[in-house]
Chain A
Amino acid sequence: GAGVSQSPSNKVTEKGKDVELRCDPISGHTALYWYRQSLGQGLEFLIYFQGNSAPDKSGLPSDRFSAERTGGSVSTLTIQRTQQEDSAVYLCASSHRRRTGGASGGNTEAFFGQGTRLTVV
């Protein structure tokens, strides 16, 4: 598709259940990001994938959260044993890779999907 696609758009789950959130990045984008936005709050970084490199998982809040990216394209964020505090909007973004070696330029604009609103009851 033309933009970043996330599914489902809304998810209601019972406390203790596992959920999977999906992100389809823009074709050709090697960088993929996951963020969490709680009600009325800013964007909290969760995890970042860049090509075939090891992901930066430094923002994952607990070991109940994990993410994978298959074939360098689609990504799945999994939350195990969901808690009520996991309720939030989960946003995915993708972009081209930045140029290395100190070079500037190149289109590294990040584009976001519409998000998945997760409600844990």
Chain B
Amino acid sequence: KQEVTQIPAALSVPEGENLVLNCSFTDSAIYNLQWFRQDPGKGLTSLLLIQSSQREQTSGRLNASLDKSSGRSTLYIAASQPGDSATYLCAVRRRDDKIIFGKGTRLHILP
């Protein structure tokens, strides 16, 4: 059974700092891993998708890495801004196409 864990559950950092969000999964037989952000009362916005054959993906100030063998992914946010405040969700797509989510990290950037 695939379980996805995100640490920390909540994080507050001053504006401008670089930060790392962690995601771990128990079964390395995944097809891909996707990072989302969710603003309060809203749906999910896709940030980055990493295929199982890839090691990292970058988009602007965001960089996501994947180490399938150790069951870990990290989302790196550079030069954080107040607009980055949201809940960040990690999701793994199993080879049977089911997508399993972690419970998320609530991020608050202090102005």
Contacts and interface: CB of A to CB of B under 8 A. Distances in A.
Interface of A: 31, 33, 35, 41-43, 45, 48, 50, 56, 91, 93, 97-98, 104-105, 107-115
B102 interface: yes
Interface residues of B, number: 26
Given A48-B97, A114-B43, A115-B43, A43 B49 contact: no
Contacts of A41: 103
B70 interface: no
Contacts of B31: 98, 104, 108
B97 A98 contact: yes
15 contacts: A41-B103, A42-B89, A42-B101, A43-B89, A43-B101, A45-B100, A50-B97, A93-B99, A97-B97, A104-B52, A107-B49, A108-B32, A109-B46, A109-B49, A110-B34
Contacts of B89: 42-43
A20 to B, nearest CB: 19
Given A42-B89, A105-B53, A110-B91, A91 B43 contact: yes
A72 B18 CA distance: 44
Nearest to A43: B101
Nearest to A31: B97
A24 to B, nearest CB: 14
B93 interface: yes
A87 to B, nearest CB: 15
Contact of A56 (B45, B96, B101): B96
B104 to A, nearest CB: 6
Given A111-B46, A112-B43, A45 B98 contact: yes
B103 A33 contact: no
B10 to A, nearest CB: 11
